[in-house]
Amino acid sequence: MTRSSTSVPEPVHEAHAIHTSEPRPAVDVDLTETEQFILEMLERLDAADTEAAHLRRALGHSRDIGAAIGVLMAMKKVTRDEAFELLRRASQDQNRKLHELSLDVLSTGELPCRPS
């Protein structure tokens, strides 16, 4: 049976509740427990921010790759899978990232040849 409790508000409309089995004033909170909780939440927030940045970058790269595939489909009259395979193979042959090669396709309208 909970005799006292304290809630610590968090962003995103959540709260962390601290319950004790001993009666004591709600303002008498164990700060080390609360501080530890806050540190954990800050770490989670930092990780979520990092993940969101990576997802935004990945989405941008995915869009560029998709657009480059569309250019290759139109120029070479091939299917989406065939265009992706051309792009993937060129990426491996030239030892370049798929996204970088896609940007070249988008700027030139053609698949870059392997450097001599």
- Residue 114 is assigned to a structural domain of this protein: no
- Residue 16 is assigned to a structural domain of this protein: yes
- Among 109, 107, 91, which residue's Cα sits nearest to residue 99? 91
Kindly give the pairing relationship between strand 14-20 and strand 4-10. Answer: antiparallel
What integer pLDDT is reported at residue 40 of this predicted model?
92
- Residue 52 is assigned to a structural domain of this protein: yes
- Residue 115 is assigned to a structural domain of this protein: no
What integer pLDDT is reported at residue 45 of this predicted model?
95
- Residue 82 is assigned to a structural domain of this protein: yes
- pLDDT in single tens digits along all 116 residues of the chain: 555 555 555 555 566 666 666 665 555 556 788 888 999 999 999 999 999 999 999 999 999 999 999 999 999 999 999 999 999 999 999 999 999 999 999 999 998 876 65
- Residue 79 is assigned to a structural domain of this protein: yes
- Residue 47 is assigned to a structural domain of this protein: yes
CATH number at residue 24: 1.10.10.10
What integer pLDDT is reported at residue 113 of this predicted model?
79
Which residue segment(s) compose the domain that 87 sits in? 4-108
Buried b (16+ CB within 10 A) or exposed e, 33-49: eeeeeeeeeeeeeeeee
Alpha helices, H only, 9-115: 31-76, 80-93, 98-108
Report yes or no: 42 and 50 within 8 Å, Cβ to Cβ: no
What total of structural domains would you count in the chain? 1
